[in-house]
Amino acid sequence: MRISALKEWFKKGIDRIIWYISLFSKRFHVELAVMKLMSEVEALKKRRQEELAELGERIMKWRETTEAEVFGDNEEIKDLFKRIEELDRKIDELKTKAKEISTLEE
């Protein structure tokens, strides 16, 4: 009887350890996924900064010109605005996805 009780306690202990390991593994995978998404967010933010810098340079060039047709480069500026807005949208999507992943597993 004493050996069977020890076996049962040992089995329960092993089951509990397996449960903790499983929980830790799932949480670890969630955290890795969130870190990957946040890394993508940072890369997109960097691209956004580059686009904003280019936009700023073009606006400064407009200011320096003495030509009557200052807005001749308008389509390129509109394209820059569109690219920046697209990057903003992607950043927001990735942040939302990271938040959803983080909260789903809790």
Q: Could you tell me what percent of the chain has a pLDDT over 90?
A: 31
* Stated pTM of the model: 0.61
Q: What is the mean pLDDT of residues 45-69?
A: 77
Domain that holds residue 83: 29-104
Rounded-to-integer distance, Cα 56 and Cα 84, Å: 12
Rounded-to-integer distance, Cα 37 and Cα 90, Å: 11
Q: What is the mean pLDDT of residues 47-63?
A: 82
Q: Is residue 22 part of a domain?
A: no
Q: What is the mean pLDDT of residues 69-88?
A: 75
Average pLDDT of the chain to the nearest whole number:
83
Identify whether the C-beta of residue 99 lies closer than 8 Å to the C-beta of residue 30: no
